[in-house]
Amino acid sequence: MRHLLNRLRIIGLIALLVVQWESARAQPPAASTENYPSKPVRWIVPFAPGGPGDVLSRVIAPRLSDRLKQPVLVENRAGASGDIGMEIAARAAPDGYTIFLGSTNEVINPILHKLGVNPLTDLKPVSQLVRTPLVLLANRNFSPKTVPEVLSAARARPGTVTCGCGAPVLQLACEMLKIQGGVDINVIPYKGGGHALNDLIGGQVDLIFLGSNVALPYLKANRVDAIATAGPRRGVGPLGQLPTVGETLPGFDVEGWFGVLVPSATPQKIITRLNHEIAAVLEQGEVRERLANGGLEISYGPPEAFAEFMREYYAKYAKIIREAGIKGE
């Protein structure tokens, strides 16, 4: 009997060791932080080449490469308002060799749509890069040139004033103008901001909201008119001389932003290193001048501050979207 018990104990011990070994083998290897980075870093940009997010990344990437002593390679993965690129990044190995250009869209999209990943849990903030206030633009043949005049025209002709939108945050701004203004504005979704802008110039829509950095060249070329910014106050950015929508509709405040995120299990030591190097790049005089001239307000800080900003941003606009009954297209 004693021998039988001993054999059972031995068999049980062997079984336990096998289970532990299999479990250990199944775990992904821990990311090496001591020699990071030791190979090129992939920067996933969820936008097409030539767009504002792509241009921003290509300003920062070569300078970040210099700091890290390894190539930082921009990889465009456009589609579904940024969701395709976000999912690729969230499911990448959490080793610091995949970083992601996050934006307003990735935080607002989960409120409007059911997604495969959640940016607040499946990605971890590294650093915000820039903010850009939105600007309300009008077709040059559209008679109203102020926010009160826009609202008056919408009240006089319900459903005839149109607001085009090519991204979730731009749709949100159009819907907020409609709801807070208490008017019937026809919100028209587009597959991209460029399509909406082309139709604005062509006269197919009356109004659009757009990031001030994207709007500047068209304003300088007198192809569109600027009515107001969507920021909290005047004096911010290259269009700071404009009135704000909030002067007519108190509390109206919508801005765009870009920042860097990584897969959620990325070691904190790597996140800290990336944050430090990104801050150093954004402090370079040439970078600051180029981004400012492009209508972008540099905004960076520790990862914790960016994480808190994203949580507050999500909570603020989730409340607005749900109370207003705004639906994703």
- Predicted confidence (pLDDT) at residue 18 exceeds the cutoff of 60: no
Q: What is the pLDDT of residue 329?
A: 58
**Same-domain pairing of 139 and 284:** no
> Based on the domain organization, do 262 and 126 belong to the same domain?
yes
| pLDDT tens profile 102-128 | 998 888 888 887 788 888 999 999 999
Q: Which helix (H) or strand (E) holds 187?
A: strand 186-189
Q: What is the pLDDT of residue 328?
A: 64
pLDDT in tens, 300-323: 999 999 999 999 989 988 888 887
Cα 252 from chain centre: 19
Q: Does a structural domain hold residue 67?
A: yes
Number of domains in the chain: 2
Q: Which of 185, 78, 177, 180 has the alpha carbon at shortest distance from 134?
A: 177
At residue 135 the predicted structure's pLDDT band, cuts being 50, 70 and 90, is very high
Residues 264-283, mean pLDDT to the nearest whole number: 97
My answer on whether 225 and 309 are in the same domain is: no
Same domain, 141 and 229: yes
Q: Are 314 and 107 in contact (CB under 8 A)?
A: yes
Residue 30 lies in a domain: no
- Rounded to an integer, the average pLDDT of 65-94 is 93
Q: Which two tokens stand for residue 177?
A: 């103008």
Per-residue pLDDT band for 5 (boundaries 50, 70, 90) equals very low
* Burial call 100-131: b when 16+ CB within 10 Å, e when fewer: bbbbbbbbbbbbbeebebbbbebbbbbbbbbb
Single residue among 221, 247, 273 that ends a domain in this structure? 247
Each residue of 45-75: pLDDT tens digit? Answer: 998 888 888 999 999 999 999 999 999 999 9
Q: Are residues 92 and 178 in the same domain?
A: no
Residue ending a domain, among 202, 217, 247, is: 247
Q: Measured between alpha carbons, how far is 144 from 253 in angstroms, rounded to an integer?
A: 21
Q: Work out the pLDDT band at 31, boundaries 50, 70, 90.
A: very low
% the chain with pLDDT above 90: 61
Answer yes or no: do 176 and 218 share one domain: yes
- DSSP letter at 244? B
- Kindly state whether residues 214 and 224 are assigned to the same domain: yes
The answer to whether residue 36 sits within a structural domain is: no
CA quadruple 320, 145, 292, 103: dihedral sign: positive
Please tell me the least confidently modeled range out of 43-47, 90-94, 108-112, 175-179.
Answer: 108-112
Sequence-ordered list of residues with C-beta below 8 angstroms from that of 236, at least 6 positions apart, any chain: 133, 229, 297
Verify that 124 and 145 share a domain, yes or no. Answer: no
Query: Cα 80 vs. chain centroid, distance in angstroms?
Result: 13
In a domain, residue 22? The reply is no
Query: Domain containing 292 — which CATH number?
Result: 3.40.190.150
Looking at the fold, whether 89 and 149 belong to one and the same domain comes out as no
Closest alpha carbon to 196 in 170, 217, 228, 172: 170
The reply to whether 2 falls in a domain is no
**Among 247, 281, 299, residue at a domain's last position:** 247
Please give the pLDDT value at position 320. Answer: 80
d(CA 231, CA 209): 12
User: Within a domain: residue 4?
Assistant: no
Predicted pLDDT of residue 56 = 94
Question: Same domain, yes or no, for 54 and 137?
Answer: no
The model's pLDDT over 189-219, given as tens digits with 9 standing for 90+, comes to 888 788 899 999 999 999 999 988 889 899 9
For residues 158 and 76, state if they share a domain.
Answer: no
- Exposure b/e, 180-209, CB count within 10 A at least 16 = b: bbebebbbbbbeebeebbebbbeeebbbbb
Please check whether residue 34 lies inside any domain of the structure. Answer: no
Q: Output the domain CATH number for residue 141.
A: 3.40.190.10
Is residue 33 a part of any domain in this protein?
no
**Average of per-residue pLDDT values in the chain:** 87
pLDDT at residue 32, rounded to an integer: 56
Residue 285 is predicted with a pLDDT of: 95
Placement of tokens 């829509």 in the chain: 205
In this model, does residue 140 exceed pLDDT 80?
yes
Rg (CA), the chain: 24
More confident residue, 18 or 40: 40
Q: Based on the domain organization, do 168 and 264 belong to the same domain?
A: no
Listed range (29-33, 86-90, 124-128, 150-154) with the worst mean pLDDT = 29-33
Q: How does residue 8 score in pLDDT terms, banded at 50, 70 and 90?
A: very low
More confident residue, 303 or 8: 303
Range of the domain at 166: 133-247
CB distance 128 to 286 below 8 Å: no
